[in-house]
Chain A
């Protein structure tokens, strides 16, 4: 199953993220975003693990997903993390605890710089894609 698809947008880019569940959407989004930013520039270096904890301020899952991506993008842009795998340890009551494997990477390996995650037109819907019922999160990024 593909985890994301880039959608045309006149000035910036829009991305559809796919997951078998809401939890799966969150777990796969960090590595998807890393792949979009770094494309094939994934180095073979020591893998590190970081536990990330989020307290969401909103009851809207789409906004929570945006706020999660904002944090992930900050770590990609500022700390140059390439996320490879994430696993949720606690999700509910506006709390997300997630453990993410990442590789520390060099900024010069960025191929597609994504500068910000926007709230524009954000949504999480359920769709049947290739016979599978999936959760689809649509997100517009500033580049």
Chain B
């Protein structure tokens, strides 16, 4: 099989490889079933994957998860790991919404408890959770010292302010904090944008979703995670808001201006990067960690606001709701992780852009609760279809640096969505499926219409066949708040 002159070799049923050729520092791999290939070949995402394979110090291969689609610089769904001494760090390989991520929470409620109250709950979410373009005001505007604390403490900061429980940290990737954060690396513009956006959902593909578990695939693991059939769950998807965007923008600009100093050529300026050990590389990494921590604080507050909204909407107690965070994973990040590369243990800078960590059992980064079973992995579908809770595998550790996909992946552009559907068509279609949707902006609902995404079940099937994660439960949406 060929793609734009590049050979594509089939490694196994859901693993494909583009061998290293001129200019590439490694081969490139992508994960998909045969039936997904025509869609993947439609846009230029594989060219972007090949571009990533040109970067110096890349280990094993540039990778794209089954939700791969065309982005800028890295493809969405891209994973690349680099040596610390000879490799690079790239703001474009992380993305603008640094540590955009999703968390999955369980409750004591069942479908019967809320079936007549879904609209009420979604209204409650809208009332208590600031959402939409430039949303602000969830909590009092921070002062500079408080903002510094958000940057250095992450989720812990929110817990200290009364948003959630200490136990949540063990259920959060990296325990909700990257210790390399250094607020001295943050520009005045980024600081200004961050002052009033903690605890805000934002717009675009960010959402709050209430759903129920409608299928169990692994009963022992489901029991271990305290999730069961017909149980009401809540998902929160948001990131570092304008703060993270400004940090990415600041450092991309600085790195683009220094591209001619580099001893190597990059095929796309959005892949602008610096050696990881360089002064600028380190400054970016420390700033990126600040944004990652900001995002964890944001989702911690959002989750707490969502919990409060549900309790108020149903007039029930904390105990009756039984709200508990199962896991929080990040999608856009560069992290230092130890991995085995062809038999040698190495500390690497793993970039995940629109991809999720999916660590298998035994990793020291996991809390005691998950160390023996692996890390929960969350793959949300579009707002009209299923989402999945999975568990990381040992195969993921050897195959993909412990990585998996982050969602369904887009197939239709936002412009095409607006040409194809109206707000009322999308809303009515979801209503017929029994899904209550509130969208702050009409455009967002149309742009995020279910028809603009791949079938998430196909994506999850590819993940499982490739061995990157294993399904535990499936959920279906009842109510969604979009920004």
Residue positions of A touching B, CB distance < 8 A: 6-13, 57-58, 63, 67, 70, 74, 77-78, 107-108, 110-113, 115-122, 140, 142-143
Contact = CB atoms under 8 A, between A and B. Distances in A.
Given A77-B134, A115-B96, A122-B269, A12 B72 contact: yes
Given A112-B443, A119-B269, A6 B415 contact: yes
B256 A116 contact: no
Interface string B28-63: 000000000000000101000000000000000000
Contacts of B270: 118-121, 140
Contacts of A12: 71-72, 414
27 contacts: A9-B414, A10-B45, A10-B69, A10-B70, A10-B71, A10-B411, A10-B413, A11-B410, A11-B413, A12-B71, A63-B256, A67-B253, A70-B253, A77-B134, A77-B242, A113-B134, A113-B203, A113-B441, A115-B96, A115-B204, A116-B245, A117-B249, A118-B92, A119-B268, A119-B269, A120-B92, A121-B270
Contacts of B412: 10
Interface string B400-417: 000000000011111110
Contacts of A111: 441, 443
Contact of B193 (A7, A57, A78, A108): A78
B73 interface: yes
A12 B256 CA distance: 21
A121 B71 CA distance: 11
Contacts of B257: 57-58
Which bucket holds chain B's interface residue count?
35 or more
Given A70-B249, A111-B443, A118 B73 contact: yes
A135 B413 CA distance: 26
Nearest to A122: B269
A11 B43 CA distance: 11
B203 A142 contact: no
Interface in B120-152: 133-134
Contacts of B45: 10
B102 interface: no
Contact of B248 (A9, A116, A140): A116
